[in-house]
Amino acid sequence: MKRPVEHPKKRPVKRLGRRGGDRGQVSIEFLGMTPVIVLTLVLVWQAVLVGYTFTLAGNAADEAARAGTAVPPGGARQAACSAAGLRHLSAAWRGSAEVNCSQSGYVTAEVTLHVPVLFPGLIDFPARVTGHAGAVEEVKR
The pLDDT tens digits of the residues spanning 58-75 come to 989 988 888 877 776 666
Which pTM does this prediction carry?
A: 0.70
Give the bridge partners for 114, in sequence order. Answer: 128
> Domain locations in the chain?
25-136
Name the band, by pLDDT with cuts 50, 70 and 90, for residue 55.
very high
Residue 58: is it exposed, middle or buried by C-beta count within 10 angstroms (0-12/13-18/19+)? Answer: middle
Task: Please state, in angstroms and rounded to a whole number, the distance separating the CA atoms of residues 112 and 80.
Answer: 17
Q: How far is CA 19 from the centre of its chain?
A: 50
The pLDDT tens digits of the residues spanning 84-116 come to 888 888 888 788 888 888 877 788 888 988 888
